[in-house]
Structure 1
């Protein structure tokens, strides 16, 4: 059903405020997103967006459509679920993830395909705070995200999956395995991870607790971008050591543990509960993959 698909895309555009941002999340080109939105406007015979610089703003009709679209999609998903055999792992669920955990989630879905051929898992990449809110609103059936603000809500299930330690990452040109971390932070520009995020807050708290005072140079919201700049010897950083990142074997990088008791961030899975018989299977498969890699 094209209209249902277009409504799903519309909700993502409304959240992102741009076709470009929505395109990344729904795995379409920006042009394809634009075509879907124009087709939806033609079908509804009303304008939904107004151009604003590089983004788009919702019209009055567009804002009104959000609640209707959410209800229509929820009803459609419930209808499909009702047509499935009782308890069968089949149908469509939407699961979100942070960039750092998408590899694990993708591998989980691939591993499940042979066992559950009628299961379709739609994957969405988003920041942790947005993922949590999407699960709470029911826009996502589950999400793999970073533990931040309290996630206890009626009907939601939070399961810790693994922890990632905070580490100092520097160019191999300026750091050795026995380098003094305080000296590295004192003598090199500091590339800081966004302090508005749970991980950024955790990094800031850890630096203060350890009495480490870096020379802030740049503040970015992408760990991968920060590490790329470190490779170019632009500066040093303190970031979570992504579970799927092989930084320790990268000859251009030096990864050093922080002094004292290791500071970590918790990665877990948040489930809405609406399709629990399916999201439970995804969670169990993910835990099994983690256990095999341990």
Structure 2
């Protein structure tokens, strides 16, 4: 079977349209139609339903799509394996959630300094997006809150991030009940930080108020300083970035403080030398204050003693 047919089939399945697939492949529409018909004749079964809104996969088409993705990815990995060398070259693609992306640039900078012939692509997104990106081979691996349980994935615990409550320095803080019903400002409302906060609040008889999402750490902290609400963030961010003006940080109680950060990759992924060395550099450059079992305690006026 011609791999060119598989690539056309994949494009049509992803676009849900013959015309859009033709545009993405830079083919004429009739060429795409003919190739899909050739493939269906070869398999002796229809792969798409044709209707007024476009096309959708049949049951056989969905099954064939799974194998098409595997076949094309396996061919790509075969090329990588043949071209791979002990000296890292080529490119790698990794994903990261927003909070891990705070300390990742320093690691990437060191890595690029050691291996200038490797092109690095970074995708920042939410946990669900990153998980799907790894599964679909869009990135080779991703940093995210764990644990992540999936039969096709391998996860490796990197660090136990310790999180803290971030409030404006104008707030009269008298314990966790002080934020009862106040607005929680978050980079990702679906992250584990929120569930840890809800557990802490519930234990003290409080409850979560409104939640407001932000696209950047700078915007979130600016709104905390303005008194719009409060946040929950890794303590490593403040120890590394030294951005405590106008805010106070209270570490979470011990039972809620740690959030695991894991690195995930596909179980069947071919590990190029460039990717292997990236993982080694990643481990070597983890935030010192929160790696392993080390505990981050209050230091200076900005990070307060553990909140009660």
Please tell me the TM-score bracket, short chain as reference. 0.5 to 0.7
The alignment status of 1:191 with 2:212, answered yes or no, reads no
Moved more, 92-101 or 197-206: 197-206
2:278 to 242, 265, 282: 282
How far is 1:184 from its partner?
Answer: 1.9
Using the alignment, how far apart are the partners of 1:277 and 1:42 within structure 2? 31
Partner of 1:122: 121
2:247 to 253, 274, 281: 253
Using the alignment, how far apart are the partners of 2:242 and 2:107 within structure 1? 25
Aligned length: 247
Partner of 1:217: 210
1:164 to 161, 178, 191: 161
* Aligned CA distance change for structure 1 residues 260 and 97 (closer, same or farther; 3 Å): closer
How far is 1:180 from its partner?
Answer: 1.0
After TM superposition, the structure 1 = structure 2 runs for residues 53-72 of structure 1, keeping only pairs within 5 Å, are 60=55, 72=72
Partner of 1:25: none
Q: Secondary structure at the match of 2:201?
A: helix
Aligned residues of 1:240 and 1:265 also touching (Cα < 8 A): no
- Structure 1: runs of 5 or more not aligned: 1-6, 16-35, 48-57
Q: Which of the pair has more CA radius of gyration?
A: 2
Partner of 1:147: 146
Using the alignment, how far apart are the partners of 1:148 and 1:198 within structure 2? 10
Partner of 2:90: 91
* Aligned CA distance change for structure 1 residues 286 and 160 (closer, same or farther; 3 Å): same
Q: Secondary structure at the match of 1:271?
A: strand
TM-score by length of 1: 0.66
* Aligned CA distance change for structure 1 residues 103 and 217 (closer, same or farther; 3 Å): closer
Partner of 2:264: 270
The alignment's C-alpha RMSD in Å is 3.9
- Structure 2: runs of 5 or more not aligned: 1-6, 34-52, 291-308
Partner of 1:40: 24
Task: For residues 23-67 of structure 1, give each alpha carbon's deviation from its aligned partner in whole angstroms, at most 9, with x where no partner exists.
Answer: xxxxxxxxxxxxx999526435379xxxxxxxxxx9538998987
Partner of 1:136: 135
TM-score by length of 2: 0.63
Using the alignment, how far apart are the partners of 1:280 and 1:292 within structure 2? 21
Q: Secondary structure at the match of 2:156?
A: strand
Partner of 1:104: 103
Which of structure 1's runs of 4+ aligned residues deviate more than 6 A?
61-67
How far is 1:95 from its partner?
Answer: 0.8
